[in-house]
Each structure stands twice: as structure tokens, then as C-alpha cells.
């Protein structure tokens, strides 16, 4: 409109064809100007979004560093990234998406920080134990293979990541979470503890289950199953029979064999505790084929 007003004095005396060309040129120029402004806006918006993502990745790196950055550093980075500091967090390690469309990202829970550039992509989730948050997390990760670490204070987020990575390794081997798309570490704490040092766990199995080595493999399996069930079911032969699906008399025969092999270990509470750990680990490894 301003251009039209500026050119109005010179319109007098021009024929309609010339005026039409002038008007057309003005509108083409305006279209190009609007398109350029739109491109500039989108470019600026993308640049701002990219800067926001860079700041958030830098913040996530600082939170998950070992040792973690100091609280003042984290607070400054959080302020720059526009991220409210939560009281408690959990870290989810993301695996492959088994669904047909593997290119889409998960729907992030509010306030989540994510970094796809890591060797094991991970997501930091603020206040995951708040009302309804866990269900929201499960919906966000639906269709993704993921492990959710334990809920910890923000300063210990690296610990949640460490346990989640351990659980990822066990899930890959089939030791835990074989039928779960979201493996929650807080549901497998005893297993994570048992396998947190596999060399030590192996030494425990070798030491406490050594008497089984005198037997043939099939006998080892039968007696290990009976002994584990006996320890888990309050040393009740009838309960063991129901659990292993054999006649109680057969169970009593196997338990007499166990008594001959392990002797006084079965009457020592500490030894029974170690035996159960060793037998549970043996059972999980054999079930997974490890």
C-alpha cells in the first residue's frame, strides 16, 4: 500500500497495460519479500532450537558425568537451557524400536533430556515417581526396547545410568526382562546385585555348588532345582513337590541326596543364604543360555 501511494503521482498519463505491469511487479516483489521473511523466521527458529538442544545435551553431559559436575555448574547450565531442576530423576537407556517405523523418536515425557549421540542413547526423566508419571513414561516408550534405571536424587543420576546399563547387558542375554518392552531396574534389584560383579558371582557359584560337580549334568540339574525350591519354600518337601511338579516321595529322595552332598551347609543360615544366591544365579544363566 505504501508503494502504491508513492507511485500514485506518476500514474497519471500511463495506459492501463503499463499500470498493470507495475502492479504485478509490486505484488511479485511483495510475495518474494514475504517468502524471504518466512525463510528467515524458520532459519532463526531452527537456530534457536538447535542452540536449545546443544545446551540441553551439555546439561545432560554435566549431570551424567563421573564424577558429576558441581551443583552450581548444573544449576547454571539448567538456567541457560530453560530446564527446571527436579528433586529426583531416573535414566532410561534406549535400545532399538522393533516396530515397523524405526525412524521416529519416542514421545518425550515433560522435561525429559535426551541424547541420541551417545553409544547407548539415553533419556533423563525428571520426577519419575510422581503421580501418574510412570504410566506416562511407559506410554512414551511404548514400542521401544528400553531399560529404566532406579529413581535417585539428581546428583546421583550417573548411578541410575550405571545400573540401567548393567540391566541392558542382562536383558540382551535374556537373564532379565525377556517379555518386557520396558525393563525397570527396581523390579530386578537382587538380580542386578548378584550380577554386578560376575567374576565374584562365578566364584560364589563354584565354591558353594562344588558338591554338585560330582554328579552327571542331568543329576546336577535335578538336585539344583530341588535344593533351590526347598530353600525358597521354607524347607517344605510338599511345597517343593508342587513347585517342581514331581511326587513328594521323589522330592524327599532328591533332598536326601542333597543332604548327603551338602551336609552341615544346609543347617548354617549364612551358607543357606549363599547357596540360594548361587542357585538363583545358576538358574537364571541356564534359562538364558549364558
List, in sequence order, the alpha helices (H) in 65-184.
71-81, 133-140, 157-172
Element (H, E) at 184: strand 182-184
Write down the CATH number for the domain with range 210-288. Answer: 1.10.10
Judged against a pLDDT cut of 60, whether residue 122 lies above it is answered with yes
pLDDT at 194: 93
* pTM of the predicted structure, to 2 decimals: 0.74
Phi, psi of 133 (to 5 degrees): -70, -40
Judged against a pLDDT cut of 90, whether residue 52 lies above it is answered with no
CA distances for 38 relative to 28, 41, 46, angstroms: 15, 5, 12
Burial class, 55, CB count within 10 angstroms (exposed 0-12 / middle 13-18 / buried 19+): middle
Give which of 162, 154, 112, 119 is closest to 136, Cα–Cα.
112
| Separation between Cα atoms, residue 108 and residue 240, nearest integer Å | 46
| Separation between Cα atoms, residue 217 and residue 168, nearest integer Å | 30
Judged against a pLDDT cut of 80, whether residue 42 lies above it is answered with no
Per-residue pLDDT, averaged over 97-110, amounts to 61
Question: What does the angle CA 139 – CA 145 – CA 149 come to, to the nearest 5 degrees?
Answer: 80
Judged against a pLDDT cut of 60, whether residue 45 lies above it is answered with no
| Separation between Cα atoms, residue 205 and residue 152, nearest integer Å | 31
Give which of 248, 251, 264 is closest to 223, Cα–Cα.
251
Give exposure, 221-244, as e/b (b: 16+ Cβ within 10 Å): ebbbbbbbbbbeeeeebebbbebb
Q: Where are the domains of the chain?
A: 82-194, 210-288
Average pLDDT across the chain, whole number: 84
pLDDT at 234: 82
The region, left, alpha or beta by phi > 0 then psi within -120 to 50, assigned to residue 54 is alpha
Highest mean pLDDT among 28-37, 135-144, 263-272: 263-272
| Separation between Cα atoms, residue 198 and residue 281, nearest integer Å | 10
Q: Residue 15 gets which letter from DSSP?
A: -
Give which of 218, 220, 282 is closest to 257, Cα–Cα.
220
| Separation between Cα atoms, residue 36 and residue 252, nearest integer Å | 86
Higher-pLDDT residue of 148, 42: 148
Tens-digit pLDDT profile for residues 151-187: 999 999 999 999 999 999 999 888 987 666 789 999 9
Percent of residues, the chain, with pLDDT higher than 90 = 51
pLDDT at 256: 93
Give exposure, 176-199, as e/b (b: 16+ Cβ within 10 Å): bbeeeebbbbeebeebbebbeeee
With bands split at pLDDT 50, 70 and 90, how would you rate the model's confidence at 100? very low
Amino acid at each position: 500500500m505504501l508503494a502504491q501511494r508513492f507511485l500514485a503521482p506518476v500514474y497519471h498519463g500511463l495506459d492501463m497495460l503499463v499500470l498493470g505491469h507495475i502492479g504485478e511487479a509490486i505484488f511479485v516483489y511483495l510475495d518474494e519479500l514475504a517468502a524471504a521473511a518466512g525463510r528467515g523466521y524458520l532459519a532463526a527458529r531452527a537456530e534457536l532450537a538447535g542452540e536449545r538442544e546443544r545446551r540441553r545435551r551439555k546439561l545432560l553431559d554435566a549431570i551424567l558425568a563421573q564424577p558429576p559436575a558441581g551443583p552450581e555448574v548444573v544449576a547454571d547450565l539448567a538456567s541457560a537451557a530453560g530446564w527446571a531442576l527436579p528433586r529426583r530423576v531416573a535414566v532410561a537407556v534406549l535400545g532399538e524400536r522393533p516396530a515397523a517405523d524405526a525412524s521416529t523418536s519416542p514421545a518425550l515425557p515433560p522435561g525429559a533430556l535426551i541424547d541420541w549421540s551417545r553409544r547407548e542413547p539415553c533419556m533423563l526423566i525428571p520426577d519419575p515417581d510422581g503421580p501418574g508419571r510412570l504410566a506416562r513414561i511407559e506410554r512414551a516408550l511404548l514400542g521401544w526396547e528400553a531399560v529404566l534405571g532406579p529413581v535417585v536424587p539428581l546428583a546421583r543420576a550417573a548411578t541410575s545410568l550405571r545400573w540401567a546399563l548393567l540391566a541392558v547387558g542382562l536383558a540382551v542375554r535374556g537373564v532379565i526382562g525377556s517379555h518386557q518392552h520396558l525393563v525397570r531396574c527396581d523390579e530386578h534389584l537382587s538380580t542386578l546385585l548378584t550380577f554386578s560383579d560376575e567374576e565374584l558371582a562365578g566364584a560364589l557359584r563354584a565354591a558353594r555348588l562344588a558338591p554338585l560337580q560330582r554328579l552327571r549334568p542331568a543329576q546336577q540339574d535335578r538336585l539344583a532345582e530341588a535344593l533351590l525350591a526347598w530353600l525358597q519354600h521354607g524347607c517344605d518337601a510338599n511345597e517343593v513337590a508342587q513347585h517342581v511338579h514331581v511326587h513328594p516321595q521323589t522330592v524327599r529322595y532328591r533332598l536326601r541326596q542333597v543332604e548327603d552332598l551338602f551336609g552341615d551347609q544346609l543347617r548354617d543360615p549364612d551358607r543357606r543364604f549363599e547357596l540360594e544366591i548361587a542357585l538363583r544365579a545358576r538358574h537364571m544363566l541356564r534359562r538364558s543360555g549364558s
